[in-house]
Amino acid sequence: MTNDTEFSAPMAKVLSVLIRLGQWTLGAGFVLLLLMAFIMAVPSGFRESLMTESTTEINASTLAARCFAGAVVAAGWFFVLRLLRRVVTAVIHGDPFLPENVAYLRHIWIIIAATEIFRMIAYFIMGGDGDCACSEIDGSRLDIRIGTWFFIFIIAAISEAFRHGAALRAEQELTI
């Protein structure tokens, strides 16, 4: 049961605008990273001119792979923001404890976890963060970001709280 009237939630309205801005930024980043991956993957005069003008040693195939990996991560975060915008819209309308929101929040933490696992594997395979020459890094360290995993567990806990809230609400609606 969704209210058609907007609930007074000024922070949710601001968050909705920020989420849209984030989606536009991630969409543009996704397109630019895919374009750069394509440019670096296909031999051309433009690619050669970019590589000769660089002040550091660049391997075109490694840069193409890094750009593609960045595009995959950007796409994952784009979909996270898309789902989060749906949850925020329900909050704006004063009805956050919907079964759909439980599913959205579950999808959010699963997408973030999958994106983080992909990032860790790509970082490991490509041998580091790219701040130094490729020959100096052997790819033997796994970059685990504790803050990101803590964030994932928080979102998972919030999704369970929303599940419980939705169950209480359904039970209340059945009460006479």
Q: Which residues are CB-neighbours of 7 under 8 A, at least 6 positions away?
A: 91, 92, 93, 94, 95
Whole-number Å distance between alpha carbons of 13 and 9: 6
Q: Is a pLDDT exceeding 80 seen at residue 152? A: yes
Model confidence over 114-134: pLDDT tens digits?
Answer: 999 999 998 888 876 555 444
Instruction: Place 147 in a pLDDT band, splitting at 50, 70 and 90.
Output: very high
pTM equals: 0.80
**98 closest CA partner among 38, 169, 24:** 169
At 113, list the tokens.
């976890």
How is residue 109 written in tokens? 């933490």
